[in-house]
Amino acid sequence: MAHQKLATVTNELIASYGNTAKNVINAYRVGNERAVVFMDQSWLSAVNKAGTRLSAQARHNAVAAEKKLTSYYVKSVEMTSANADLVVNKAVELAGKSVVQVAANAGRFEKSTGVTTLSALATAAVPAAQAVIKVAAKIEAQSGVLASKIAGKSVKAKVATAKRAVAKKVVRARKAA
């Protein structure tokens, strides 16, 4: 039915946006890790350049203070990005369940009233939704490339792929409804 098709396309779009958000979170995490390494190196270089103008105790305290601040910063970035990942995962999950429920409710509404306007609208909306998915897949892929460039090495970047597993879930949920 049209609802299942539109629900499938919509869930693919939601998953794609979720992957894009995760790529941005990974870019944030890796970018901050690189910034910390740069700041560590710059701080140690500055302390070493000061040389004998600072006492050994002052140099030790400066390095220890910088390490302590860096550890707090790294922990905050880790917690922030881990929590952001959790939020994205939950938002994608809830949005997917909502789409399935809306499709099931629309089907029940049409059966009880005999009005098929919702099916006609869903059928008309599918090509537009598929076009949006193509754009979202490109954005998702580019966000993965960005995360990789920021990292300078391979990261857990999501790459746009066909999300056929979502279609199976939607069909099962629709039959159960």
**CB hemisphere CA count around 5 (13 angstroms):** 15
Structural domain of 142 = 2-176
Q: Are 121 and 48 in contact (CB under 8 A)?
A: no
pLDDT at 163: 40
Phi then psi dihedrals of residue 162, to 5 deg = -70, 130
Is the confidence at residue 132, as pLDDT, over 80? Answer: yes
Interval 140-154 mean pLDDT:
81
Q: What is the mean pLDDT of the chain?
A: 82
Q: Total domain count for the chain?
A: 1
DSSP code at position 116 = -
Q: Which of 1-5, 31-35, 45-49 has the lowest mean pLDDT?
A: 1-5
Q: Whole-prediction pTM value?
A: 0.73
Triad 129, 134, 136: Cα angle to 5°: 90
